[in-house]
Amino acid sequence: MILIASLLLAASSLSACKIKKHLTVASANEADATLVLQYEHGFEHYLTQREEQPIRGKMGRERTLFRKGGTCLLRDGERIGEDDPYYPMYLTDVFGDESVRLIEKFHKDQQPFFLNLWWLTPHKPYEPAPEPHWSQTAADGISNDQHCYRSMMARMDYNCGKVLYTLDKLGIADNTIVLFLSDNGGAYE
């Protein structure tokens, strides 16, 4: 199978990836998963939330998968530690900030790039997004899950805006293709 990242890498473009690991090959060994991501999928860099159990299952049950999302990240085959700036962050903010960082780096290095950014939002477990998005999405007559979902979507929209603003600020938006897709669909409520 030929994937777009492999084709772009062969054409001297630099690839980057933020991806949910369960979209790749499930592996009990993180080093094996690293090889799959880097070599079979064609990415030179990635940042992902580990799918490791029982950690991920526990975070899902406790509804902390996003709020403590930075605590279980894997960057280019290495677990990030407590000293990493992403460690205490909300997962959607991590993905937004890393995307902005990479775009700025690629632009500074005058390097063409392919950035594959997979937001985990909207996805259960629904959790409150950080302020101001939690308060801004409150409404009468909605359930807690609906409020969480709305706040999570607002936070993702805010981070999409940061990425698009960065492209504009650097003057490369007119020479950049942006596709926005979702594999998670709508909520059941």
pLDDT tens digits for range 131-164: 999 999 999 999 999 999 999 999 999 999 999 9
For 63-93, give one letter per residue: b (16+ CB within 10 A) or e: bebbbbbbbbbbeeeeebeeebebbebbbbb
Write the pLDDT tens digit of every residue in 162-177: 999 999 999 999 998 8
The answer to which of 7-21, 40-54, 110-124, 129-143 has the lowest mean pLDDT is: 7-21
**Mean pLDDT for the chain overall:** 81
Structure confidence at residue 30 as a pLDDT band (50, 70, 90): low
Cite the beta strand spans of 95-146 per DSSP E: 113-117
Structure confidence at residue 72 as a pLDDT band (50, 70, 90): confident
Write the pLDDT tens digit of every residue in 79-100: 889 999 999 999 999 999 999 9
pLDDT at 38 over 70: no
Stated pTM of the model: 0.84
